[in-house]
Structure 1
């Protein structure tokens, strides 16, 4: 993104980047990055540790820095990830604890509780105490046990007081964003101990005693250690990562195996994200074709578009991947880092009402952003994309050279597309698409070459569109 800024300023010295350049960078990495698993996990983490362009006062470079941080930490240790998320200015702005001040009895001011609540509820331990397999623990009367109380939120909120803008020479003015350093949006927040609470703090069974000398960073470290070591973190995090990568309704044994890896990677290390991702992806439940009709997940719209780009070697005419937001309901109804709230585009426990899967009590998170309008818009968007390209002046497009070589053989063409897109088509779907492709006649030898080429291209485009519009593709199994 900074390279793009340099290029823009070469043409206009006062130019600046916007969300558009973030999206361009995202799609370039999604299509051409040589670290696709990291890219995929990074996107999954962005839907758990949510920040968004919809938040007030966000900086495009700041959010790009935040997204890069998620990628950098994707295979590291969860404790490092939790620390980096907590200190990043993009999160400080989004969950309003940037410039969070200690309590003041005279004015009645209390610390902002936003991050304290959401870091527990959405990012680490969830609402209910869990067994290692992700099932809820219950009390003697059979009721689920809450993980935290209002008092825990209040205690933790005091820990997160004093964090604000980075400055090499911090003072009261820089605490409020005055004389802001050029890298303040991309550099971790710093602790201003003068604004940090020195009163006693109790949360999740931990106590920090009152003191006369503030040690804000030390207290944040203790709080993050407490969250990191909570027994809920493994099953809570693993369930959501499995949902993002494999299936919406993982079994309890699947969650347990992955949570055990989080708790101990085999070398007595807790929180090894690389080991956790490996455990999720090579688990027998992830690698075995299931006969359960509710197994699998809907592919998110952003993932589908990225799948098309990589499968068919899409390229950018300009080299800048000029795709802006695709959040409109007339497009994909989703863009990276553009969630409407801290609760992501969809809730991990969303159960669609009045559906077969909903009547079984099964979750289908991605269906929360799926309706008649979004389904039609997706098909229309992909039809245009497959035929003409996507982005400004259809900047990103595919040539389909390898597919065109198979256009005379509809069976081979459909088999290749099935393989590239990871569909595992049913015999019925395969036959229908093959018949539809065969229905486009290729002129006999002697006809004008451009007519022959057009017919072949139409076969390829139709095969891809019908595949990507099919339930077999949209439901990853």
Structure 2
């Protein structure tokens, strides 16, 4: 990787990647308006089409009442299988592509629904016995994430869980959270547990998890008393971010308008009324005394046991929100049920949550018809059940728009790029541990870490669009662009150039298996075609393919002799490194189809 050829190629890759991501950026990592044309082209803009998002007053679209299309199961090519697996998993492998071509998408999804959940908390607690004093840190949470992303069998569950973690956000950037790694792992397990269940149960599990209680401050939230009012943080965010959004929506995700303005879903009075519901909740335990409520009694399981309600601290006054009134005198549990049922039944939930799942798995700018089909699956799974996450996931992944790989749909976020590389080349660790720790530094790492966003709004908002860009002018969004700029692109390329050749993690113990690629080192076209299938899902343009083949051919490949085995091996590896690096640095890779 030290050759002049590769250094020149790296410079070219940086230029191409910056073009794809929209040019340079200021020091705060927000993209500038420069060079947006390339980004617009890569993200498949249709200039005459406007799209609206659920949390920003974009152009309203006419409601779409099209009946959801029945999914079909045509025979899959390797490229189609790879394309699907890029959406439904942390990345395709040669084995998973081969298996899917012998099956169907629907059968694969059903098989994934049946796979047992792998628990992160159990893993990190097993690792604790290997650590000095048995002390866990955030590093073990990251390790468990990367281990499961790279090697886990329940790929669909874990991929959907990662998407949910970007909607139902807690973050180890918060000092009160990072000191509780087992609790964080448990929270992630809770999302995974309900990923294939019902959204109503997911909402309750999130609301009562102690990590969410700490993060959004409704743990130990007390009833009104004189000048004291209940903390409103969680009440606001459970509506704005986790259920109904800021503005009323049609079922296709378009904004409902009144007098030329979007209609807000809630007022401050709604927030204040709902906040009373989330009073009296604190640590679980065998009693409801003030000592336990205030956290002075350290139950060993409290970081992952759902919070309990303490009647002495719960507001018993009447509570009004979103057109619902809870009569005075209710218990904490009864009030919570009414509140969560009200949110669950709100007509916004299907399009609001459905659109975000589409964005995280498939496309930043789904058509109104696509959103409508997913919202319809949320409203009714075909058997009269609302909120069935399995029905929603099927609708997201089996939709005709998801199968269309004709144009780029979303910018691959950095965590998914790294996971894609780990899986594509069957990365393994001799110890079985994937000690890839925090990666959110944009200059020297990926610019993103799981469960470490800077705020409850994730690393990027679903409605973000680069200002003063052609994307913005076209009414489109590009959420991942919010963390994309010159520092982050440079950091990503530096990291990938290093790990592709040397491995990842502590002591570079996580190593890729390039044996299949090394066997093709003397056949540049075949090598690039394999990389294309594993990384670009068979969608590489002939121009990019020829460019990478030319770069690989430019690296001398000597015939083996009795004395040059080391040199031959090094050149074989360099050719593989070159092909993989240039593919992962290309605009065509960064903009996922």
Do both share a fold (TM > 0.5)? yes
Q: Which stretches in structure 1 are left out of the alignment for 5+ residues?
A: none
Once residues 383 and 546 of structure 2 are traced to their aligned partners in structure 1, the CA distance between those partners, rounded to angstroms, is 50
Match of 2:551 among 436, 439, 447: 436
Q: In the TM superposition, what is the alpha-carbon distance from 1:8 to its structure 2 partner?
A: 3.8
Once residues 362 and 155 of structure 1 are traced to their aligned partners in structure 2, the CA distance between those partners, rounded to angstroms, is 35
Deviations 1:64-121 (A, max 9, x none): 100011111111100010010000001000000000000002xx10000000000000
Instruction: Determine whether 1:172 maps to 2:290.
Output: yes
RMSD: 1.2
CA contact (8 A) 2:251 2:351 kept: yes
Q: Which stretches in structure 2 are left out of the alignment for 5+ residues?
A: 1-120
- Secondary structure of the residue that 1:57 maps to in structure 2? helix
The 1:19–1:128 alpha-carbon spacing in structure 2 relative to 1, beyond 3 Å, is: same
- Secondary structure of the residue that 1:207 maps to in structure 2? strand
Match of 1:131 among 243, 247, 250: 250
CA contact (8 A) 2:125 2:182 kept: no
CA contact (8 A) 2:552 2:579 kept: yes
Instruction: Determine whether 1:157 maps to 2:271.
Output: no
Q: In the TM superposition, what is the alpha-carbon distance from 1:9 to its structure 2 partner?
A: 3.4
- TM-score, normalized by length of structure 2? 0.77
Instruction: Determine whether 1:145 maps to 2:263.
Output: yes
Once residues 124 and 402 of structure 2 are traced to their aligned partners in structure 1, the CA distance between those partners, rounded to angstroms, is 39
The 1:10–1:363 alpha-carbon spacing in structure 2 relative to 1, beyond 3 Å, is: closer
Q: In the TM superposition, what is the alpha-carbon distance from 1:16 to its structure 2 partner?
A: 1.0
2:185 alignment partner in structure 1: 64
Once residues 390 and 256 of structure 1 are traced to their aligned partners in structure 2, the CA distance between those partners, rounded to angstroms, is 42
Once residues 153 and 355 of structure 1 are traced to their aligned partners in structure 2, the CA distance between those partners, rounded to angstroms, is 35
The 1:118–1:427 alpha-carbon spacing in structure 2 relative to 1, beyond 3 Å, is: same
CA contact (8 A) 1:200 1:208 kept: yes
Once residues 257 and 467 of structure 1 are traced to their aligned partners in structure 2, the CA distance between those partners, rounded to angstroms, is 34
Q: In the TM superposition, what is the alpha-carbon distance from 1:318 to its structure 2 partner?
A: 2.6
1:9 alignment partner in structure 2: 129
Match of 1:327 among 432, 440, 443: 440
Match of 1:284 among 400, 405, 423: 400
Matches within 5 A, 1:58-457: 58=177, 59-105=180-226, 108-139=227-258, 141-211=259-329, 214-291=330-407, 295-329=408-442, 330-423=444-537, 424-446=539-561, 448-457=564-573
CA contact (8 A) 2:536 2:588 kept: no
What is the number of equivalent residue pairs in this alignment? 468
Q: Higher relative contact order at CA 8 Å, sep ≥6: structure 1 or structure 2?
A: 2
Once residues 82 and 243 of structure 1 are traced to their aligned partners in structure 2, the CA distance between those partners, rounded to angstroms, is 20
Once residues 492 and 308 of structure 2 are traced to their aligned partners in structure 1, the CA distance between those partners, rounded to angstroms, is 43
Name which of structure 1's ranges 419-428 and 220-229 shifts more when overlaid on structure 2.
419-428
Once residues 398 and 225 of structure 2 are traced to their aligned partners in structure 1, the CA distance between those partners, rounded to angstroms, is 52
CA contact (8 A) 1:165 1:180 kept: no
Deviations 1:103-148 (A, max 9, x none): 002xx10000000000000110001110000111122x23211100
The 1:193–1:311 alpha-carbon spacing in structure 2 relative to 1, beyond 3 Å, is: same
2:575 alignment partner in structure 1: 459
